[in-house]
Structure 1
Amino acid sequence: LVAPGTCLKLYLAEKSHSEASNHCQQEGGRLYTIKTPERKDLLKTFISLGTTSVWLDAVKAVQGGDWVWGDGDIVPLNSSLWYPNQPNSTGARCLETWKKDYLLDDYYCGAGLKYVCEMSVP
C-alpha cells in the first residue's frame, strides 16, 4: 500500500520483534508506528485483508520503564490508542496491535508475529 510519502509492506512470515525490526531496516524502512488515530485507521485498512496481529516499532526502555517509539518519542500511557488496562505485563517489552481494534498492546518480544514495514517514498 502506498500512502502519501509512505509505502507499507506486510510480511506474513512470523518473526520476533528484533528480527522483524532488523528486516525492515535491511529493506530501508522501519516497523510501523501508531502515533495517531489516522495512522491506526491506515493500518486497519491495510492489514484487514491479511492478518490478525503485527509488531509495532516501540519497546519498553530498560531504564525508566517508559514505552518508546523507534524514533525516540515516548508512547504516552494515557493515550486512547492503548487497549484498556494496557500495558499490563512486566515481562512484555514490545508493542503489537491486533485486528480486533488495532490498539496498542504489550507483548513478549521473542514471540513470532507478522509485521508491517514502513518506507519513505519521494
Structure 2
Amino acid sequence: MNHTLQLFLLLSALAAAQGACPNGFHIVGNQCYRFSQEYSDTKTWEQARTFCQFLDSDLAVLDLDCNDNNHLISYIISKGYTNIWVGASDTAMEGFWKWVDNRVVDMTSTLWFYNEPDNPSSNDCARFVRASGDFPRVYLYDHPCSQSLNYICQTGIHSKQ
C-alpha cells in the first residue's frame, strides 16, 4: 500500500472517530468528554450532573484498569485544567464513595491525594485538582458539593446495579 493511501485511511479513521462524539464533546482515548472550561461554565456538582444528563451523558467516571484514565489525565494536564467535578460522591451514605454508574470508588487508588478524602462531614463530592511541579499529576479531592466548579461530562455512562 502506498504512503498516500495509508495516510488517507488513517485520516479517514481519525475523522470517523472524531465524528463519533456528540457536538461539543471530544474523543480522548476511546471515550467522548465535554470539558466545561471550554465554555467558561461552572456549576455545583448536582447542577453539573443534571446538565451532563441533559446532554445524554453523565459526570466522568474513572476505572484504574482502563487505559482511558491515562488519556484523560494526560489531556487535563496538557490543557492545564484544574478544580473539575467528576462523578463520584458519598452523598447517599457518608464515607461510602460511589461513581455515578453505581460502582464503588477504590479508596486505595493512587488517584486520591494523600489523606483524601479528608473531611467526612461536609465534603461529599469528588473533584480533580491538577498538581503542578516537575511532574504534574491530577488527584482526586473531596469538596463541598455546593461550590461551583468546572466539570467533565462523559458519554456512555450507565448505572450498574
**Please, what TM-score do these two structures have when normalized by structure 2?**
0.67
Consecutive unaligned residues in structure 1, runs of 5 or more: none
Tell me which residue corresponds to 2:149.
Answer: 113
Tell me whether 1:25 sits opposite 2:56 in the alignment: no
Contact 1:44 1:99 in 2 (8 A): no
* Bigger mean CA offset, 104-113 vs 3-12: 3-12
Rg larger in 1 or in 2?
Answer: 2
Cα deviation, 1:86-113, whole Å, max 9, x if unaligned, reads 1100210000011112121101101111
RMSD: 1.8
Alignment of 1:1-122 (within 5 A): 1-3=26-28, 5-12=30-37, 13-36=41-64, 38-47=67-76, 48-63=78-93, 65-90=95-120, 91-100=122-131, 101-120=137-156
May I ask how many residue pairs the two structures share in their alignment? 120
Tell me the percent identity. Answer: 25
Consecutive unaligned residues in structure 2, runs of 5 or more: 1-25, 132-136, 157-161
Contact 1:93 1:107 in 2 (8 A): yes
Which structure's residues are more often strand, by fraction?
1
Contact 1:40 1:102 in 2 (8 A): no
